[in-house]
Amino acid sequence: MTEATGIVGEFLSLKADSDADLLAMQCGDFYEFFDEDAEIVADELDLKVSQKSSHGASYPMAGVPVDDLTPYVSALVERGYRVAVADQHETADGHAREITRVVTPGTHLETTDDAAQYLAAVVGAGGDSSDPAEGADGSYGLAVADVTTGQFHVTQLDGPDARTRIQTELYKFDPAEVLPGPDLRGDDDFLDRLRERTDAALTVHTEESFAPGRARHRVRDHFGPETVDSVGIADDDAAICAAGAVLSYVEDTGVGTLASITRLQSYGATDHVNLDATTQRNLELTETMQGGTDGSLFETIDHTTTAAGARLLREWLQRPRRDRGELQRRQSCIAALTEAAMARERLCETLSDAYDLERLASKAVSDSADARDLRAVAGTLSLLETVEAIVDDDDRLADSPLADALDRLDREAAADLAAELDAALVDDPPGTVRQGGLFCRGYDEELDGVIERHEDALEWLETLPDREKERAGITHLSVDRNKTDGYYIQVGKSEADEVPESYEGIKELKNSKRFTTDDLQQKEREVFRLEEQRHELEYELFGDLRERVAQRATLLQDVGRVLAELDALASLAIHAVRNDWTRPELTDGRELDVEAGRHPVVEQTTEFVPNDLRMDGATSPPDQERASGHADADRQFLIVTGPNMSGKSTYMRQAALITLLAQVGSFVPARAATVGLVDGIYTRVGALDELAQGRSTFMVEMQELSNILHSATDDSLVILDEVGRGTATYDGISIAWAATEYLHNEVRAKTLFATHYHELTSLADHLDRVHNVHVAADESDGDVTFLRTVRDGPTDRSYGIHVADLAGVPEPVVDRSRTVLDRLREEKAIEAKGSGSSEPVQTVFDVNAGGFKRVDESETATADGGTAAEASDGGLDPETEAVVEELSELDVNETPPVELLATVQQWQEQLDDD
Ligand code: ADP
Ligand code: MG
């Protein structure tokens, strides 16, 4: 067997033992990929493939230099591959190779992305229904870790809908990698949704690691038994299983950051605002519907100067809070920062020098931090003093909760560590830790001795040419060093014969000759020995220093978190000042009262017309209000009508975003706002709007509507935008109608419902808390002007015909179209019956009975008769008849104004032809 077979054979056998997608195996100075792996890697990364022939067979081979592996592995992991790395090490008889780590999307330490990188394990226990509408019972556990920062969150959800809710929870983290528990691996519905909603890589981790006993042991072992009890998950088996699996996976991949996971953060189902994936997408929190980041809420309001600050701000937007105390604390900080302009600017300037301490902590723990990283730690820790001085110097900041956050840090420990690192490392250390030059003089006595001798020896070498020139009387003489010859004396050809006898020639070049001497050889050996000694000693000392930093991982995480928070708060303050945002009043009531509100993203690019929104909650607790029957003061369900493009969708999203920002603790785009805290925000956009973007089907729209009707509570905010639009008119109205009744009567959520089904506006007469608003448009100057102002009451229903009239469509046509429209309306006869009245009104939908009622026949007959008479009396010619027919069939609300005008113009031409 040849050596080649050996290597490829070894590669294939290591690969077979690993469940990674790709293997990079060290072969001396290179990491090589063979066989299929070589082809994949070459394809993905544009590497050259060569052929490795062995034993008659030939294998594709691609390699990268040892020092360049990291960026290649990163690129592969970012493309979703799990890459195993096998390192080579010396053994008594030659060398051996073994897999030392597996780099996966969720455990990738060298990520270049500032955003959090979450690895999640999710465990299901019990509950056999996979139909979300059924509300599967059981317990579901979720554990989520970011190995790059040491963040670790766990939660458990029990009871009805736990399955759906845990998925929503999981999506919120936008995980890079998910470890489904044994129960969920065969659950196609769960896996399909996961694939649909996230880009996460799915990894099957050993079943044992999820086993309750083993997981519990591991979690207690890692965090300490008291911690598990104190965060209240001791009895949450599902949460423990998920947590145990994550810890085990992090350990198995060999990423080496397990020790940076120092804190077990358990959170309950009621800590955060429920925001499902569809809502996150609809509200364009971090990504727009088109998939870009430009124009997202985050991109718009982000003025952070550090990666950690940006990461935290993004996290706040994705996981708004329900804890009024915490939100008010953030508000107070922002308020102080908006007022203290100078201090804020100095703070931001100071923070802009900060490095990502949370990530540096993980690097220190995993032994991957180099001297520059530790200098960054020192530099960032020492900023704390400046930050503290800035806060102390300004009374507004000093009296704000910002000061408390700083006070809670162990600033002495931070200063000590910074001082220790400062005293140890030179200002601008090299990027490698194996070649010395890292430490300052005076740090270590032994090292100082070695350095002194090393430098003395170098000094001897440096001055050697002068001494030799003088001794031998040679002018063209220099001393140099290269890899093959080591140190040598070089003499010009012309003088090469005049060198002293002690010179021993080693090489002849074209114009010169190289020599060595006993002294030089001795010195050379000394220099090499000292160099090696110095490198080893510095490497050793550096390892110790890094270890001491790693032991303070918690301190780095704490300081990093506070600096990130300052950055995020300052960013919100900056945005508030620049855009004239206001501090909302937060209440535990159910009101949403916004004066002159704006859409935070649209206002950036448009001359935005501010709008009021008034949804008032009961001043008494809901139960009492329900019992008292005085519900007419309530205005909790708004039906939003108005022509196409008038601003309905914007108005509703604005309401959702103002609520969301308020629950981030941020100021909001409005003159004044009172926001009753919500437990969830749910938005749905009708399938037609979504279909245009090739995203959705009516089935999905209905599934999502079903989810809302199941999940929303009387503390939620629901935004329905043209829901029901994805199907035939009668279907659509029926669904919209019934959903409105259900939301109003059963769910009792605060709801905004934009609809082009004008019929729904009559619901306001019958359902106590339903009110109509419309987005006004002005047609007075013969032109349609969108006023963008929201007013009470339903929109003018003959808006389209009015436009036709304005456009100069001949009177008979306009009149006729009014008649046709009336008739159509009567035919549909969707006029709700007054709730208190017993007057017989044409009704298809009976609000009270919730069913269909027979339409009064005589009235319909009248309408029919009238039509017939007019048709013959008017004596319309066929051409006009055709136009009228088209007109009657045109759905005004479905047609964009421009198209409407064009159609009208075409009719005019048709009529003129007569
Ligand atoms: P609709 O849902 O009624 O069809 P949209 O909400 O999609 O209308 O808004 C249509 C256009 O009007 C959008 O381009 C939007 O930016 C703009 N717009 C909406 N509301 C306002 C406003 N209050 N001030 C200025 N422009 C607005
Ligand atoms: Mg719209």
Q: List Cβ neighbours of 7 (8 Å cut-off, separation of 6 or more).
A: 25, 27, 32, 34, 52, 54
CA of 688 to the centre of ligand 1 (A): 18
CA of 755 to the centre of ligand 2 (A): 9
Q: What is the pLDDT of residues 551-582, one digit of tens each?
A: 999 999 999 999 999 999 999 999 999 999 99
More confident residue, 810 or 626: 810
| C-alpha span between 450 and 531 (Å, rounded) | 8
Residue owning the nearest CA to atom 18 of ligand 1 = 647
Nearest atom of ligand 1 to the alpha carbon of 652: 6
Residue type, 58: S
Q: What pLDDT is attached to residue 126?
A: 54
**Best mutation site among 602, 652, 684, 899 for ligand 1 pocket (most ligand atoms within 8 Å of CB):** 602
Q: What pLDDT is attached to residue 244?
A: 95
CB 650 less than 6 A from any atom of ligand 1: yes
Q: Which ligand is nearest to the CA of 723?
A: 2
Q: What pLDDT is attached to residue 144?
A: 96
Residue owning the nearest CA to atom 25 of ligand 1 = 608
CB 289 less than 6 A from any atom of ligand 1: no
Comparing 37-46, 401-410, 671-680, 725-734, the range with the smallest average pLDDT is 725-734
Q: What pLDDT is attached to residue 498?
A: 84
Q: List Cβ neighbours of 87 (8 Å cut-off, separation of 6 or more).
A: 26, 97, 98, 100
Residue owning the nearest CA to atom 5 of ligand 1 = 647
β-strand pairing of 139-146 with 119-125: antiparallel
Residue owning the nearest CA to atom 15 of ligand 1 = 647
Residue owning the nearest CA to atom 4 of ligand 1 = 645
Two structure tokens written together for 648: 């309905």
Q: What is the pLDDT of residues 138-156, one digit of tens each?
A: 899 999 999 999 999 999 9
Q: What is the pLDDT of residues 841-879, one digit of tens each?
A: 444 444 444 444 444 444 433 333 333 333 334 456 777
Task: Give me the residue label for tokens 């051996």.
Answer: 96
Q: What pLDDT is attached to residue 905?
A: 82
Nearest atom of ligand 1 to the alpha carbon of 754: 2
Q: Determine which helix (DSSP H) or strand (DSSP E) holds 99, and give its type and residue range.
A: strand 94-103
pLDDT higher than 60, residue 821 = yes
Over residues 524-530, mean pLDDT? 92
pTM: 0.81
Residue owning the nearest CA to atom 10 of ligand 1 = 645
CA of 786 to the centre of ligand 1 (A): 9
Q: How far is CA 848 from the centre of its chain?
A: 45
pLDDT higher than 70, residue 342 = yes
pLDDT higher than 60, residue 786 = yes
CA of 790 to the centre of ligand 1 (A): 11
CA of 257 to the centre of ligand 1 (A): 48
Residue owning the nearest CA to atom 19 of ligand 1 = 647
What is the secondary structure of 221-289 as a DSSP string? HHH-HHHHHHTT-TT-HHHHHHHHHHHHHHHHHT---GGG----EE--TTSB-EE-HHHHHHTTSSS-T
Q: Which ligand is nearest to the CA of 692?
A: 2
β-strand pairing of 585-587 with 512-516: unpaired
Q: What pLDDT is attached to residue 875?
A: 57
Residue type, 487: Y
CB 609 less than 6 A from any atom of ligand 1: yes
Q: What pLDDT is attached to residue 854?
A: 40
Q: List Cβ neighbours of 377 (8 Å cut-off, separation of 6 or more).
A: 355, 357, 360, 364, 369, 417, 418, 421, 549, 556
**Best mutation site among 650, 774, 786 for ligand 1 pocket (most ligand atoms within 8 Å of CB):** 650
| C-alpha span between 803 and 812 (Å, rounded) | 15
CA of 756 to the centre of ligand 2 (A): 9
Q: How far is CA 766 from the centre of its chain?
A: 43
Nearest atom of ligand 1 to the alpha carbon of 650: 6
CB 597 less than 6 A from any atom of ligand 1: no
Q: What pLDDT is attached to residue 133?
A: 40
The values of phi and psi at residue 408, to 5°, are -70, -15
CB 646 less than 6 A from any atom of ligand 1: yes
Grade residue 687 by pLDDT with cuts at 50, 70 and 90: low
Which of helix, strand or coil describes residue 613? strand
More confident residue, 624 or 199: 199
Which of helix, strand or coil describes residue 557? helix
Which of helix, strand or coil describes residue 652? helix
| C-alpha span between 102 and 256 (Å, rounded) | 11
Q: List Cβ neighbours of 481 (8 Å cut-off, separation of 6 or more).
A: 487, 488
Residue owning the nearest CA to atom 9 of ligand 1 = 647
Q: What pLDDT is attached to residue 849?
A: 42
**Under a CB-based contact definition with an 8 Å cutoff, are residues 362 and 147 in contact?**
yes
Two structure tokens written together for 724: 């029901």
| C-alpha span between 52 and 60 (Å, rounded) | 6
Residue owning the nearest CA to atom 26 of ligand 1 = 608
Residue owning the nearest CA to atom 20 of ligand 1 = 647
Helices 518-551/445-472 angle, 10° precision: 160
CB 606 less than 6 A from any atom of ligand 1: yes
**Best mutation site among 606, 689, 775, 894 for ligand 1 pocket (most ligand atoms within 8 Å of CB):** 606
CA of 646 to the centre of ligand 1 (A): 6
CA of 644 to the centre of ligand 2 (A): 7
Using CA atoms, how far residue 242 sits from 160, 176, 246, 903, in Å, is 20, 16, 6, 61
| C-alpha span between 52 and 61 (Å, rounded) | 6
Which of helix, strand or coil describes residue 486? strand
Beta bridge partners of 683: 719
CB 611 less than 6 A from any atom of ligand 1: yes
Q: What pLDDT is attached to residue 449?
A: 94
Comparing 164-173, 365-374, 820-829, the range with the smallest average pLDDT is 820-829
CB 647 less than 6 A from any atom of ligand 1: yes
Comparing 309-318, 494-503, 550-559, 572-581, the range with the smallest average pLDDT is 494-503
Grade residue 662 by pLDDT with cuts at 50, 70 and 90: very high
| C-alpha span between 579 and 668 (Å, rounded) | 9
Nearest atom of ligand 1 to the alpha carbon of 642: 3
Burial class (CB in 10 A: 0-12, 13-18, 19+), 436: buried
CA of 682 to the centre of ligand 1 (A): 20
The values of phi and psi at residue 447, to 5°, are -60, -40
Comparing 344-353, 411-420, 509-518, 699-708, the range with the smallest average pLDDT is 699-708
Q: Which residues of 193-231 are buried (b: 16+ CB within 10 A; e: fewer)?
A: bbeebbebbebebeeebbeeebbbebbbebbeeebbeeb
pLDDT higher than 90, residue 80 = no
The values of phi and psi at residue 83, to 5°, are -115, 120
Sign of CA dihedral 131, 135, 139, 143: positive
Nearest atom of ligand 1 to the alpha carbon of 610: 23
CB 755 less than 6 A from any atom of ligand 1: no
Q: Which ligand is nearest to the CA of 896?
A: 1
Which of helix, strand or coil describes residue 82? coil
CB 893 less than 6 A from any atom of ligand 1: no
pLDDT higher than 70, residue 708 = yes
CB 642 less than 6 A from any atom of ligand 1: yes
Q: What is the pLDDT of residues 204-258, one digit of tens each?
A: 999 999 999 999 999 999 998 888 888 888 888 899 999 999 999 999 998 888 8
CB 608 less than 6 A from any atom of ligand 1: yes
CA of 147 to the centre of ligand 1 (A): 42
**Under a CB-based contact definition with an 8 Å cutoff, are residues 709 and 747 in contact?**
yes
Residue owning the nearest CA to atom 6 of ligand 1 = 647
Grade residue 827 by pLDDT with cuts at 50, 70 and 90: low
Sign of CA dihedral 564, 604, 576, 390: positive
Grade residue 499 by pLDDT with cuts at 50, 70 and 90: confident
Which of helix, strand or coil describes residue 24? strand
Q: What pLDDT is attached to residue 815?
A: 85
Over residues 53-58, mean pLDDT? 78
CA of 770 to the centre of ligand 2 (A): 20
More confident residue, 654 or 876: 654
Two structure tokens written together for 405: 């956050």
β-strand pairing of 201-202 with 177-180: parallel
Over residues 189-203, mean pLDDT? 89
Which of helix, strand or coil describes residue 457? helix
Burial class (CB in 10 A: 0-12, 13-18, 19+), 4: middle
CB 788 less than 6 A from any atom of ligand 1: yes
CB 649 less than 6 A from any atom of ligand 1: yes
CA of 788 to the centre of ligand 1 (A): 7
Comparing 203-207, 413-417, 627-631, the range with the smallest average pLDDT is 627-631
Q: Which ligand is nearest to the CA of 295?
A: 1
More confident residue, 459 or 634: 459
Beta bridge partners of 121: 143, 179
Over residues 411-438, mean pLDDT? 93
Q: What pLDDT is attached to residue 376?
A: 97
pLDDT higher than 70, residue 686 = no
